[in-house]
Amino acid sequence: MPTRAEIKRKAKQAFHQSYGIALGGFLLYAIITGAVSSMTFGFGFLLSLPLMVGLTYFFNTLSRFEKPEIGDLFAGFSRYGRNLGALLWMELWIFLWSLLFVIPGIIKTLAYSMTPYILADCPNVSATDALKLSMRMTQGRKGQIFVFYLSFIGWYLLSMLTFGLLAIFYVGPYQMTAASALYYEIKRDAIIEGRVDATELA
């Protein structure tokens, strides 16, 4: 598996190559989720969770050095019930594990971290199987995933100095591209090591 630096370097190349569309997609997502977050009774998740799958699909495409389209942001609505159900189930389990203090919640978050990417990348995988596959794909990789996300903390500290502008115009879309690149490496690694069969992701 490539090093964290190698994955981020490759992702940065893909991001810089398509900066305009990456920024446009990320901004539109931020605007929509910001608008739906104020929906009555908190039902904004009915739109924001499938939209997260669409955003993941968008950056999955970009991380492969392909050109996504703005319409890809809404890809999560094509299998609305599956995507909403999977992410609701994921959030519920993370919440329940978090009740056992912080560490179990973090571990479960890392275990399920590949779920949105599987949903976006593998349209034939069911909601429950997406969570199960994520747990198997992240076996022995949770520490690497944790350090990978932790490596962006410096960027977000800098973003605070710009009142979040750096996060919107650079760090956010860059991190999304890098996270998608990480997913593909973890997926490939899991198949090679036999933790996941390629046919399960078809």
Extents of the domains making up the chain: 4-190
**pLDDT tens digits for range 126-135:** 999 999 999 9
Q: DSSP character for 197?
A: -
Residue carrying structure tokens 């179990």: 104
Residue carrying structure tokens 């050109």: 67
Q: Is the dihedral of CA 198, 59, 109, 74 positive or negative?
A: negative
d(CA 105, CA 42): 22
* Cβ–Cβ under 8 Å, residues 58 and 25: yes
Residue carrying structure tokens 């389209």: 69
d(CA 12, CA 18): 10
Name the average pLDDT for the chain. 93
Average pLDDT of the segment spanning 114-123: 96
Q: DSSP character for 41?
A: G
Is pLDDT at 39 greater than 80 in this prediction? Answer: no
* Cβ–Cβ under 8 Å, residues 175 and 155: yes
Which has more confidence, 165 or 44?
165
Average pLDDT of the segment spanning 183-198: 95
Is pLDDT at 34 greater than 90 in this prediction? Answer: no
Q: Half-sphere exposure of 65 toward its Cβ, with a 13 Å CA cutoff?
A: 4
Model pLDDT, residue 121: 96
Query: pLDDT tier at 100 (50, 70, 90 boundaries)?
Result: confident
The DSSP element (H or E) to which 35 belongs, if any, is: helix 19-36
Is pLDDT at 41 greater than 90 in this prediction? Answer: no
Model pLDDT, residue 124: 93
Q: DSSP character for 195?
A: S
Is pLDDT at 17 greater than 70 in this prediction? Answer: yes
Model pLDDT, residue 155: 93
Q: Half-sphere exposure of 119 toward its Cβ, with a 13 Å CA cutoff?
A: 31
Is pLDDT at 36 greater than 90 in this prediction? Answer: no
Supply the pTM of this predicted model: 0.93
> What number of helices (H) and strands (E) belong to the chain?
11, 0
